[in-house]
């Protein structure tokens, strides 16, 4: 498994694709952090095996898969309040 930065990948893409065809795995980094992975289409990674296993378990009714994959949505948005902000009341109280 080899690591290369985006600039290096862009400059030598053909060489890296030849390595991938041979079965190597290329990790693409941006400022030292891994952001992507290039693997051959025929090569299955750990993630693919995991999803296949989860799919089989889901069909058997052993697990329930999420309806959407990806990043969590996060906290719900705050509700907007009617009236003046609390900070105005505090400033008024200090006078």
Domain ranges in the chain? Answer: 2-59
pTM for the predicted model, two decimal places:
0.45
CATH number for the segment(s) 2-59: 3.40.1620.10
* DSSP string of the chain, one letter each residue: -EEEEHHHHHHTHHHHHHHHHTT--EEEEETTEEEEEE--TT---HHHHHHHHHHHHHHTTS----SS-SS---SPPPPPPSS--HHHHHHHHH-
Tens-place pLDDT, residues 8-61: 999 999 999 999 888 888 899 998 888 988 888 776 666 677 778 888 888 888
């Amino acid at each position: 498994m080899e690591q290369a930065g985006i600039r290096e990948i862009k400059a030598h893409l053909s060489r890296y694709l030849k390595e991938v065809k041979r079965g190597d795995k290329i990790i693409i980094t941006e400022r030292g952090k891994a952001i992507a992975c290039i693997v051959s289409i025929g090569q299955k990674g750990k993630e693919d095996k995991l999803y296949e296993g989860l799919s089989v378990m889901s069909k058997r009714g052993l697990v329930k898969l999420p309806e959407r994959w990806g990043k969590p949505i996060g906290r719900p948005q705050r509700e907007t309040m009617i009236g003046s902000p609390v900070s105005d009341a505090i400033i008024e109280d200090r006078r």
